Amino acid sequence: MEAAAGGQVETSDHPTPDSEGTRAVIRRPKMTGRVEADESPRPPPVEDVELIEKVRRGDIEAYGELVRRYQDRVFNACWRICGHLEDARDLTQDAFLRAFERLADFRGESRFYTWVFRIAVNLALSHRRQAQRRPWVSLDGANPDGSQARSLARRSADGSTDDPRDRVEEAELQGRVAHALLTLDPDHRAVIVLRDIEGMDYRTIAAVLDIPPGTVKSRLFRARSALADAVGKGEDRVARDRGNEGT
């Protein structure tokens, strides 16, 4: 795991509750609701820094509120990067537990949202690199409307239409894009997830991945090219299969 953002460890005069107590407020995400693509977190009624100070004073429920604010988005990123539903749930829970245990490291130089995303993405990338081959689950399985895949598919399609045949083709394209994403190198997959699905700006992505903004841009260019190639290969396979069915 890379060092958490914020530099040197900063101690607090306030007692910090042990991590075991957080398990009551950090639950494995079920992801039964819809997660909007390309929508930045809305301004919370209570600032994150206020909640963090409450946690440092021993208020576990305040940390539960932080988890509720960002859990779905962190889960979605982990899922897209690791490609395995159950692993993504475990990684999400682990990320928030680690963030809690390292809360003294958080100096407020970035948003809590960015900081916990960095922890989660590092965990997901490490897991993906080390994991042996596993069966993949459809990335739209818990997202019936396919909103996440659609945000990527729009880069390969001219637009939607009311024609039922076109809607079927668009749905097929969404599926090919989702599965093509899983074939990418983990680093390429991560930058596409953060930019094209999470809608993060280059500076935030640089902070999450701990790379220069210029590297983000060049990596994103290569990742999008690789994704387009993978989608194209999928379309060629579909065309061949349909041709074989017609013979």
Encode 138-186 in three state secondary structure. CCCCCCCCCHHHHHHHCCCCCCCCCCHHHHHHHHHHHHHHHHHHHCCCH
Least confident of 20-24, 144-148, 178-182: 144-148
Domains 19-130 and 147-245 share a fold: no
Residue 173 makes CB contacts below 8 A (sequence gap 6+) with 153, 156, 157, 231, 235
Rounded CA separation 30/85 (Å) = 10
Residue 105 pLDDT: 87
Give me the architecture of the 19-130 domain, per CATH.
Orthogonal Bundle (1.10)
Query: What's the average model confidence in pLDDT over 34-56?
Result: 69
Domain ranges of the chain: 19-130, 147-245
Mean pLDDT for 3-31 is 49
Return the minimum-mean-pLDDT range out of 29-43, 59-73, 174-188.
29-43
Over range 155-183, report the average pLDDT: 67
State the distance between the two ends of the chain, measured CA to CA, in whole angstroms.
53
Which is nearest to 92 in space by CA: 109, 103, 77?
77
Task: Please say if the pLDDT value at position 95 is more than 80.
Answer: yes
Give the residue from 61, 8, 14, 208 showing the smallest Cα distance to 124: 208
The region of weakest confidence among 18-27, 51-60, 200-209 is: 18-27
Q: Does domain 147-245 have CATH number 1.10.10.10?
A: yes
Q: For residues 148 and 73, what is the distance between their CA atoms, to the nearest angstrom? A: 11
**Cα–Cα distances in angstroms (integers) from residue 153 to residues 16, 110, 188, 240, in the given order:** 45, 31, 17, 21
How much is the average pLDDT of 21-27?
A: 58
3-class SS at 78? Answer: helix
The pLDDT tens digits of the residues spanning 116-167 come to 999 999 999 999 888 645 544 445 444 434 444 445 544 444 444 556 666 6
Q: What is the pLDDT of residue 178?
A: 81
